[in-house]
Structure 1
Amino acid sequence: MSADLALTPGPASSRWAALPVTTPGLVLDLDAFDRNLDEMAAIARAAGVELYPHAKTHRMAEAGLRQIARGANGLCVAKLGEAEAFADAGVASLFVANPIYGADKAKRALDLSRRADLLLATDSPEAAASIGTVFAAAGSRARMLLAIDSGLGREGVSPARAPEVARAIAAVPGVELVGIYTHEGTTYGAVDRADLEVRSVAAGRAMVAVAEAIRAAGIALPIVSMGASASARAVAQVPGVTQIRPGIYAFNDVGQIALGNASLDTAALRVVATVVSHPDPDRACIDAGSKSMSSDLVPASAHREEFPGHGLIVNAPGWIVERMSEEHGWLRWRGEGVPTPLPVGSRLEIVPNHVCMACAGLRRATIVQDGMVRGHWDGFGPGASE
């Protein structure tokens, strides 16, 4: 995609600026959302893998239930509180893909396991034991996946250490080790589609190899779980991968557009903002800052010339969100010729670079279908962050 195409409105542009939405606000195109859900569900179904969308992307009960209704096997979350909130909403299968520790959270996890099919994460025998002790005392076992570091350098043991750590965790009373998982975040650094395919397949194959090494140590390990929207389409096809956990795919954002996984038409969510200042022809300010859209640039530096700034302004090509403070988006003209005026009061539609942060910051989405407002979806309260 050329820089001109990236900054030129497509057929999905300028649909929502006039809607009765208080700015800054989220607007979700329900039809585009559903098409995205159906596409990924079909990919998972055809590949014979489970689909556990990462619902920390939105933290909205209605969105999660809609993902289940349209083919997801369960939901992935980042916090135990998120899992509890989705279980309250009726989701029956959940994976907390973030290690938890301690008796207090173990007791909550035990309670949750009695009303939902629950998977937990760990990457150490010590953390596993802090959970297993509580489950064992109740005559139960916590089903756990071992986190593997596939190159991001976040949580997870190295592939070389995985069999040793897996054996130690499998021996913990009250624990059943049932799989491995990773977040193959390095795939977001891909410079083009070919590079993305290579990185994704390599990550999937490396995880399958880790699983085989652990199985050779006598642990059944039925689940091999991969987790990134960037790579989901490719890793689903790797033999031996059994589960994918994409999150952003449901909405899409500039990061996915830059990778070639999405377009303006499949970017189902916009941040609507108002121009509140236009003191010079080549600069302006909007009422949406880092609390509304995040300060993230597109993940791969190779794409930042093509997709500059902190979001794609759909209905004002040539303008970019150059900088952000908490409540201000600082706009700068980067187009050719004389800047297009942005009168104070103008409303802009912006595809965020990182949709997860937009949902977390604004929390309420206005749902639009056929150009009409159909209602609102609200995100979970602060308790879901625990």
Structure 2
Amino acid sequence: MAATAISIADDAQGPSWADLPVSTPGLVLDLAVLDGNLDEMAAIASSAKVELFPHAKTHRMAEIGLRQVAHGADGLCVAKLGEAEAFAAAGVKRLFVANPIVGADKAERALALSRRVDLTLATDSEAAAASIGAVFAAAGTTARMMLAIDSGLGREGVAADQAAAVAAAVHALPGVELIGIYTHEGTTYGAKDHPDLASRAKAAGAFMVGVAETIRARGVPLPTVSLGASASAREVAHVPGVTQIRPGIYAFNDVGQIALGNASLETTAIRVIATVVSHPDPERACIDAGSKSLSTDLVPASAHRDAFPGMGLIVNAPGWVIEKMSEEHGWLRWRGQGAPMPLPVGTRLEIVPNHVCMAFAMLRRATVVERGDVVAHWDGFGPGASE
């Protein structure tokens, strides 16, 4: 499906992404920028001699997952067993479900999937691991698992001082092969500037390597030390002892990555296109993209919110801020210098989301652009992938 070719590589030159023939609210993806991002991270992983398992819950699209593998990824990381099943059906051969699963029903599905692909599962407790291992043992095989470690985020994961004991207990279970530890070093997103980010990332990598050493001292072989955050991936990849990275947002980038210094508009592969549907006074307007399109996320670190206010960056209407969201409305307020830039009803705006994962999850379809032409529409997985 071709359209009139336009230049969208540089927002300061040529027509806006908003000129593309896409219904609003709609997600637009530029292939050249995507491929550049994929190649950059693959080169980082290769130079550091670590595995690259991109977190595909960011997009949940078969075409993008296969493209990541084609551009050097060793496999894909996912959040749900249903996502793993969908990517396996698309042809991905190595998958890590980086979210603990529990119970015989999930174990039976995981067992069936493990017969088709190289599958690794996650756990952070002996009880959860045992519920999976029992099913695998009964089938005469083992579930390859990694143990989640809490590196400061306070979500799932074993505390460092308990990791060796839990790892030893999991390692001894029938039907389980413990192959590594993993974490989401989400605290790195709170960095106030790039030096702070680098320091936090290196500390997270060193922390995980240290935890691995305490576990190995208990006699548990542990070949894999895995960290996962786009904020920190460029630094943790080079920490000695780290063997795997799992960034997700890096493929597209978003305002959060721009704020951290990891990206720019030129390396941000997606935009949400929205239409001004109301302009009741000069300093207020509404667009047809609300929380069901962009989410209400602010940039992660409060230190960056003065420079990147609101719930997304409006590229072609500087000075206007998405101040508030309802489900189907974005509430815009003029925060620029001088008289407000007019936003006539019908004006189309191009918006970089603060958190790209949420835009993919909400909109679930990407209009794909190559050299300025619309070449495809890629759809996300259906509801079953969330199970």
Same-fold call, TM cutoff 0.5: yes
Cα deviation, residue 84, structure 1 = 0.1
1:184 is aligned to: 185
Cα deviation, residue 249, structure 1 = 0.2
Q: Deviation digits for residues 9-43 of structure 1, max 9, x if unmatched?
A: 94378532111101000000110000000000000
CA separation of 1:174 and 1:12: change in aligned 2, threshold 3 A: farther
Q: Deviation digits for residues 246-282 of structure 1, max 9, x if unmatched?
A: 0000000000000000000001000000000000100
> Could you list the runs of 4 or more consecutive aligned residues of structure 1 that deviate by over 6 angstroms after TM superposition?
none
1:303 aligns with 2:301: no
1:33 is aligned to: 34
Where structure 2 has 5 or more consecutive residues not aligned to the other structure, the ranges are 1-9
8 Å contact from structure 2 (residues 16, 316) kept in 1: no
Where structure 1 has 5 or more consecutive residues not aligned to the other structure, the ranges are 1-8
8 Å contact from structure 1 (residues 14, 314) kept in 2: no
Give the letter for the 1:281 counterpart. P
2:110 is aligned to: 109
CA distance in 2, matches of 1:244, 1:272: 31
Give the letter for the 1:294 counterpart. S
1:91 is aligned to: 92
CA distance in 2, matches of 1:315, 1:16: 9
- SS of match in other structure, 2:265: coil
CA distance in 2, matches of 1:233, 1:346: 38
Give the letter for the 1:148 counterpart. I
Give the letter for the 1:242 counterpart. T
Q: Deviation digits for residues 291-338 of structure 1, max 9, x if unmatched?
A: 101100000000000000000000001101011011100001010000
1:345 is aligned to: 346
8 Å contact from structure 1 (residues 36, 251) kept in 2: yes
1:258 is aligned to: 259
8 Å contact from structure 2 (residues 287, 329) kept in 1: yes
CA separation of 1:12 and 1:76: change in aligned 2, threshold 3 A: farther
1:249 is aligned to: 250
1:19 is aligned to: 20
1:200 is aligned to: 201
Give the letter for the 1:119 counterpart. T
1:76 is aligned to: 77
CA distance in 1, matches of 2:319, 2:14: 14
CA distance in 2, matches of 1:11, 1:325: 30
- SS of match in other structure, 2:168: helix
8 Å contact from structure 1 (residues 12, 264) kept in 2: no
2:240 is aligned to: 239
Give the letter for the 2:153 counterpart. L
2:7 is aligned to: none
CA distance in 2, matches of 1:67, 1:203: 25
8 Å contact from structure 1 (residues 14, 349) kept in 2: no
Percent identity (aligned) = 76
1:365 aligns with 2:362: no
CA distance in 1, matches of 2:366, 2:310: 23
Matched ranges for 1:316-355 at <5 A: 316-355=317-356
CA separation of 1:14 and 1:79: change in aligned 2, threshold 3 A: farther
2:146 is aligned to: 145
8 Å contact from structure 1 (residues 122, 144) kept in 2: yes
Q: Deviation digits for residues 116-148 of structure 1, max 9, x if unmatched?
A: 100000000000000000000000100000000
Give the letter for the 2:291 counterpart. S
CA distance in 2, matches of 1:111, 1:248: 30
CA distance in 1, matches of 2:263, 2:290: 24
CA distance in 1, matches of 2:37, 2:103: 38
Give the letter for the 1:372 counterpart. D
Cα deviation, residue 369, structure 1 = 1.0
CA distance in 2, matches of 1:52, 1:15: 33
- SS of match in other structure, 1:160: helix
8 Å contact from structure 1 (residues 14, 315) kept in 2: no
CA distance in 2, matches of 1:12, 1:238: 39
- SS of match in other structure, 2:369: strand
Q: Deviation digits for residues 208-235 of structure 1, max 9, x if unmatched?
A: 0000110010011000000000000000
CA distance in 2, matches of 1:295, 1:329: 10
CA distance in 2, matches of 1:116, 1:58: 21
1:271 aligns with 2:272: yes
How many positions carry a matched residue from both structures? 378
CA separation of 1:13 and 1:88: change in aligned 2, threshold 3 A: farther
